[in-house]
Amino acid sequence: MTIHKEGYKSIALVTLIFAALNVLLFWFFGASLLWLCIAIFIISLIFVLFVVSFFRIPSRSHTIHEASVVSPCDGKVVVIEEITDVEYFKDKRVQVSIFMSPANVHVNRNPISGEVIYNQYHKGKYLVAWNPKSSTENERHSVVIRKGGIDILVKQIAGAVAKRIVNYLEVGQKVQQGDELGFIKFGSRVDLILPVGTKINVKLNEVVQGGVSVIATI
């Protein structure tokens, strides 16, 4: 396991606060309120470990397969439905949405290999990630990856807690399946917008792993 580069500053900051808080507490109250100092130390240590865990990158063997659309993130499948895409395709598509809790790995990965033909950031609201309107009303970053004659739209969507979306792709860039697409800090969701007729290989409430689980076959 390694730590993602997006976590360096956050981990350094919470570690500094953890150290300063506990040094001051033990210095001023260690003699009279030792039990309280120990309790705060344990609670703050758990919080530091949670932040470190949030930015983890576990060691995995990624799925590399031409006909497969792999999961762009860790999480739980919360939506599988036919929609009318209003952002890019302007026609009917199949949407698969994956909810990421704060405990999930938050690296986002390319679901297929191909060329980036669309990349757009949208300002928006911070509705809870499982709200159906979050796909079109929340802050989000959308990219379309083209492979042959197939285009797949990937939406990184902010939620009520997530306040920062990072996207590493650029229009014209050639990307590889399983490589990093971006990162969302502190919980949210990722939508896959697929062609109608795509074979979906997952079910509602199924837990998936980014870069590993096969969401669909094209």
Is residue 188 annotated as part of the catalytic site, yes or no? yes
CA distance 166 to 78: 22
Burial 3-32 (b: 16+ CB within 10 A, else e): ebebbeeebeebeeebeeebeebbeeeeee
Tell how far CA 71 is from the center of its chain. 11
* Catalytic residue (one of 71, 134, 142, 188): 188
Query: Do 22 and 41 touch, CB atoms closer than 8 A?
Result: yes
> How does strand 188-195 pair with strand 174-175?
unpaired
Q: Give the catalytic positions in this structure.
A: 188
